[in-house]
Amino acid sequence: MLDNISSTKVSGGWHKQYSHQASSTHCAMRFAIFLPPDTNENNKVPVLYWLSGLTCNDENFMQKAGAFKKAAELGIAIVAPDTSPRGDNVPDQDSYDFGQGAGFYVNATQAPYNTHYNMYDYVVNELPAIISEHFPVNDKKAIAGHSMGGHGALMIALRNPKNYVSASAFSPIVNPINCPWGEKAFSHYLGDDKNTWAQYDSCELIKHASSAHYIPIRVDQGEADNFLTEQLKTENLFNVASQKNYPIEINIHPGYDHSYFFISSFIDQHLQFHHQHLSA
């Protein structure tokens, strides 16, 4: 059962927030959806799933990215889930890069996190089923995200290439098994056996991807991003994609940082990129 928290008209369409009890995360989850103008049962639209980064929830992208005008023009719905399970009974740490607000889009295997931190199942299976059941959308999906959410978007698309027609990311964590953010999160959520980490690492997934299942990917990265070298490691993605001839467009932008100022500057291009594939 969905509980409608808010409904706001914007760019001729509607931005709505909902909460529901999620079976995958065993807690109440919140998501937001933008429905473009004239969306109805006789005019179903494709969906772009947006995954946000560390410390964020469903509101950051919806309020700061400036995506509604172009999404309305192109006829694309946008769904933005939260970044982790939340609640008094959900394990947490006093840390911005782990716990609530930092789910990393994995299925945790280690106690006490394995009961609630199943964001992979939530994003891949439970949430799309809810959207399909309750909203006038068609069966075409794309996925995008920023930072930790960029990691989630690329990783989920690479693991489920039949589910999405395209994927994109701003400033993604592309090689989490080899960066401090990823090492901290994966060791707590997945345990010390690093062999189990590779299934959630985009660089590792591309290494083993079959060309029969390649999907188009776009990545935009700010050159002035202070996380670029230590955490994001875009160069590693470029190298492995080049070796595999994987169809990834990587755009480096001088002067831009890690913020939503960067995202808002190029979100229209990402929406247009996805539209090409969602409308094919």
The domain total for the chain is 1
Q: Is 176 left (phi over 0), alpha (psi -120 to 50) or beta?
A: alpha
Give me the CATH number covering residue 158: 3.40.50.1820
Rounded CA-CA distance 150/179 in Å is 15
Catalytic residues: 147, 225, 258
What's the domain range around 112?
Answer: 3-278
Residue 272 exposed, middle or buried by CB count within 10 Å (0-12, 13-18, 19+):
middle
Omega prior to 36 cis, within 30 of 0: no
Local confidence pLDDT in tens for the 280 residues of the chain: 999 999 999 999 999 999 999 999 999 999 999 999 999 999 999 999 999 999 999 999 999 999 999 999 999 999 999 999 999 999 999 999 999 999 999 999 999 999 999 999 999 999 999 999 999 999 999 999 999 999 999 999 999 999 999 999 999 999 999 999 999 999 999 999 999 999 999 999 999 999 999 999 999 999 999 999 999 999 999 999 999 999 999 999 999 999 999 999 999 999 999 999 999 8
pTM of the model: 0.98
